[in-house]
Structure 1
Amino acid sequence: MYAPQTIIENYSKGFAITIEGGSPGAGGIPGNPGAGGPGGAVGDSKNAKFGTACGPGPRTAGQPGAQGSFADAGRVGYAGGRLSDPVSFRAIDADEFRRKLLEPSISHVSPLYAFAGDTVTLEGSRYTKTDVVLIDGTETKTQVVSDTMLHFVLPFVTGGSHTLQVRQSDMTLSSKASVFVNPRVISAQQENQVKTRVRPGQKVIVNGSGFSEGTLVLVNNQEMPEVRMVSSTQLEFTLIRPAEVESNPAGEQVTLKVRLSDGTPSNEIPLTLETFHMLVMGDSVSWGQGLQEHEKFYSIVGAAVQAREGNIKQYTQVLAHSGAIIGEGKHDIVAPVDGEVPKSFPTILQQCAFFKGEAELVDLILLDGGMNDVDVRTVLNPFHPADLGKLHYDYFYVSMKQLLVDVTNKFTQAKVIVTGYYPPVSEKSDMTAVEALLIGVGAIVGGVGGGAAGGILGLAELEKVYKRCAQLEAESKLYLRKAIDERNAELGQQRIFFADPNFGPEHAALTDDPYVFGINLDLTPQDLIAAERLVSCTEAGCTGLDFEICKRASIGHPNQKGAQAYANAILPLL
């Protein structure tokens, strides 16, 4: 050391070099907001059958989106680590210097970066067969190969840098060296079981090696909260669904890794995040005829499921569509059209059979059927000769029972909720408007395509219509429950449940408090998506009476209050 004598004398007894960890780095500055999205293009105009452009008024391009918000500042970095047993300097005399030359030494470590459980080789000099390797002063199993080489198995210590020395039987210690323990992830466990499919919102244990205090857990490169070091081989954290993940109703694929506080990353392992997969099959009631997407009862149920499940992503897959029949014995293959357009095919049995996906991962099925097999026009036509009781038995019981067999055989893990029906009109309905409704749905002929109709039905015929609607409500519930109970008995467990919307006659169409869409006296529908449906009817090639029925297809279907009543009946069954 070259320095003034007074300084040298201050260090004559030696000195130690202490290496402290660096202070935390400042968080990154917030990102700049993104520009607003461009406005949408002008929508296409479609000509309906009567020759005018569909839709309320001229179409215009969408407006540009607002500028994005500023991002949050980056988090403060972790404090740097501190090496154990740091290097020191002390003054020695000539004799001690000569003794040091006789002590064992470490000249090379291979590998310098290793995993717990790896075999590490030390090369040096003056080793004896009784020597042992110390890691941070703790003895580890050692194999001496020669006086210049020995092996040891790296024990399960914390990740990061560790001090190595060789100790001889007379307690003589070698020079120091170091080895860096890398982190490694082996598996994840939840509820005391190793799993590759894990549930967001709950605690997860990461199994591996080389973990240390301050280690981060990252899922799809997003830091997870509440990380706790259990040991050098286990970390506990709360799993949250990352902001960026590829959608998959059957389970979302992610990767998990850890990162030491000094930035050293581990390997990655694949995991699958649990999802909640709801499947909707059936007819126009399950489809939500005449309602906007957020108003439909399956959307209300889905939002409730999402709130209940917390961080789990809820997926809804809708196969139901307007006009669908159960279709027992019907095997025609027809390409699907917009769900607002009444079409018998694909049948509900085909909806089940043609499902593409992992059936065993479907959690909940909302299902209805039978109304279109019976045909609501038959129910509402007081002159129709059909035996309603037999139709109800054949379709709400016999056909529904077969549908439940197919559904429960295919979707072995799903809860199935069958929704019931209601009286379209009742004695509480406005008598002056009921006839227009019957014309609008095609139950009776008169006035379609023109103005209001009147004088076709007398009081006796209207009373008969009300009774037939009440019979529909009562017998559909009776036979649907019978089919459900019998299938549950065959399964040996209750997997199928009945959700009764229980509208009652006071909430039928055209009452003072309707839960069902009616019709205006000029035969225009009451729903808010009639213009969009008109385009769909045109594109689907509907003509004649089918076209007139299609454009008014919301008649007799649950309105916003009705959809909420259905949701209220379903939610307690979840």
Structure 2
Amino acid sequence: MDMLVLGDSVTWGQGLALDQKFCTLLYQARYKRAPVLNRDMAILAHSGAIIGVDGAPNRKQAHGEVPSPYPSILTQCDMFKGQLAEEAIVIVNGGINDIDPFNIVDPRTSSARLDDMIEERCYKDMVTLLTQVAKKFKGDKVQIVVPGYFPILSAKSDPARLPHFLSAAVGLDISHMLGLGLNFGVNLQLNPALLNPPLLHGHLWSKVIANCHLFFDKSTVCLRRAVNDVNTVLGGHRVRFASVPFKDENAALASDAWLWGVDLTPPIAQDPERVNRFAACNIDEKNLLRLPVCYCASAGHPNDIGAQQYLSAMLQVVTPLSKP
């Protein structure tokens, strides 16, 4: 096996077809051919996966596009029983679902609380995860690549679409915080009153953006520190951190978005896998109240342009094959 992919929806490639996922793009760039799934490359990452240091519910494994904490990323590592090639690459990430994206974009989450959660999940838990991964895959030439996260929203995101995005992406109804008493509900209908950007230029909008930037900046520092500390303890530099250079204009709903947004009219989700995901959600998502979020699970995840940016970042830290 030349490549193993562990982690959450980011390494899974939420909303992207197999040939668009950055793991596939990295494989093609490295080996000059497309991978055969489960022979050349195994993807155990899936939407909603938590690192799972505190444990994860043991439930039936869902389709990769359907958000579910199980199997945890620690469990994914344990589950892999194959043999890695001498110069294999293990892509692994995690932490955001242990924090819960809802907490990141919820303006009621204090900066201090969010900062503490990021430290706990993206540093302490990541050290635990990377230690387990590095000890299991011990080959001197096996490289472990940890891709970073991104600012979900920024000051360049379109505020007129913010309520729709938050409702569709994480099920957060921000309308009652604006004193409008609105409920997006399962049909995700957007009230025209919310299309007035000034309504969102106050404290709530600023707090959402501040939380997103705090998550991006702090998680980058924590993940990099976790990588460095694991390398120091175990010796060598097999674990590498790949930071993607996101700017404000690359956030969701921005002018040069590297992340999927949402549309104001059906089918709402923008990604090419939405039809397959809709069908999988109808089978695997048993909580009817979570179905709308499942349908729009691509929102706030790297799109095809974002996947190319992840590829570029990983190519900068991966050592080329000794015998191409």
TM-score (norm 2): 0.87
**Aligned partner (choices 81, 92, 96) of residue 371 of structure 1:** 96
Contact in 1 for aligned 2:66/2:285 (Cα 8 Å): no
| 1:563 equivalenced with 2:295 (yes/no) | no
Q: Which residue of 1 aligns with 2:190?
A: 452
CA shift digits 1:102-145 (9 cap, x unpaired): xxxxxxxxxxxxxxxxxxxxxxxxxxxxxxxxxxxxxxxxxxxx
The 5 Å alignment of 1:44-63 reads none
More strand by share: 1
Shift of 1:563: 0.4
Q: Secondary structure at the match of 1:417?
A: strand
Shift of 1:532: 1.1
Q: Which residue of 1 aligns with 2:128?
A: 402
Q: Which residue of 2 aligns with 1:105?
A: none
Q: Which residue of 2 aligns with 1:108?
A: none
Q: Secondary structure at the match of 2:3?
A: strand
Q: Distance in 2 between matches of 1:541 and 1:344?
A: 12
Aligned-pair identity (%): 34
Q: Distance in 1 between matches of 2:164 and 2:60?
A: 32
Q: Distance in 1 between matches of 2:309 and 2:241?
A: 14
Q: Which amino acid aligns with 2:157?
A: S
Q: Secondary structure at the match of 2:5?
A: strand
Q: Which residues of structure 2 form unaligned runs of 5+?
A: 174-182, 319-324
Q: Which residue of 2 aligns with 1:133?
A: none
Shift of 1:544: 2.3
Q: Which residue of 1 aligns with 2:60?
A: 335
Shift of 1:558: 0.3
Q: Secondary structure at the match of 2:282?
A: helix
Q: Distance in 2 between matches of 1:418 and 1:378?
A: 23
Q: Distance in 2 between matches of 1:448 and 1:291?
A: 27
Q: Secondary structure at the match of 1:441?
A: helix
Contact in 1 for aligned 2:101/2:170 (Cα 8 Å): no
TM-score (norm 1): 0.50
Q: Secondary structure at the match of 1:387?
A: helix
| 1:539 equivalenced with 2:267 (yes/no) | no
| 1:412 equivalenced with 2:149 (yes/no) | no
Contact in 2 for aligned 1:420/1:501 (Cα 8 Å): yes
Q: Distance in 2 between matches of 1:381 and 1:520?
A: 21
Q: Which residue of 1 aligns with 2:26?
A: 301
Q: Distance in 2 between matches of 1:350 and 1:290?
A: 23
| 1:482 equivalenced with 2:212 (yes/no) | no
CA shift digits 1:310-363 (9 cap, x unpaired): xxxx81110000000000020543232210000000000000011111257571
Q: Distance in 1 between matches of 2:258 and 2:81?
A: 34
Q: Distance in 2 between matches of 1:376 and 1:499?
A: 21
Q: Distance in 2 between matches of 1:396 and 1:380?
A: 17
Shift of 1:545: 2.4
Q: Which residue of 1 aligns with 2:321?
A: none
How many residue pairs end up in the alignment? 296
Contact in 1 for aligned 2:8/2:47 (Cα 8 Å): yes
Q: Which residue of 2 aligns with 1:423?
A: 151
Q: Which residue of 1 aligns with 2:245?
A: 502
Q: Which residue of 2 aligns with 1:392?
A: 118
Q: Which amino acid aligns with 2:222?
A: Y
Q: Which amino acid aligns with 1:550?
A: C
Q: Which residue of 1 aligns with 2:71?
A: 346
Contact in 1 for aligned 2:258/2:304 (Cα 8 Å): yes
Q: Secondary structure at the match of 1:521?
A: coil
Contact in 2 for aligned 1:419/1:498 (Cα 8 Å): yes
Q: 1:448 to 1:555 in 2, by over 3 A?
A: farther
Hey, which bits of structure 1, 4+ residues long, moved more than 3 A?
Answer: 359-362, 453-458
Q: Which residue of 1 aligns with 2:161?
A: 433
Q: Distance in 2 between matches of 1:518 and 1:567?
A: 21
Q: Which residues of structure 1 form unaligned runs of 5+?
A: 1-248, 250-276
Contact in 2 for aligned 1:290/1:340 (Cα 8 Å): yes
Q: Which residue of 1 aligns with 2:180?
A: none
CA shift digits 1:239-269 (9 cap, x unpaired): xxxxxxxxxx3xxxxxxxxxxxxxxxxxxxx
Shift of 1:452: 1.1
Higher-Rg member (1/2): 1
Q: Distance in 2 between matches of 1:500 and 1:472?
A: 14
The 5 Å alignment of 1:32-47 reads none
Q: Which amino acid aligns with 1:353?
A: D
Contact in 2 for aligned 1:366/1:418 (Cα 8 Å): yes
The 5 Å alignment of 1:120-519 reads 249=1, 277-307=2-32, 315-359=40-84, 361=86, 363-385=88-110, 387-413=113-139, 414-445=142-173, 446-450=183-187, 451-453=189-191, 455=194, 459-519=202-262
Q: Distance in 1 between matches of 2:84 and 2:138?
A: 7
CA RMSD of aligned residues (A): 2.0
Q: Distance in 2 between matches of 1:289 and 1:535?
A: 15
Contact in 2 for aligned 1:380/1:443 (Cα 8 Å): no
Q: Secondary structure at the match of 1:365?
A: strand
CA shift digits 1:263-282 (9 cap, x unpaired): xxxxxxxxxxxxxx100000
Q: Which amino acid aligns with 1:349?
A: L
Shift of 1:492: 1.7
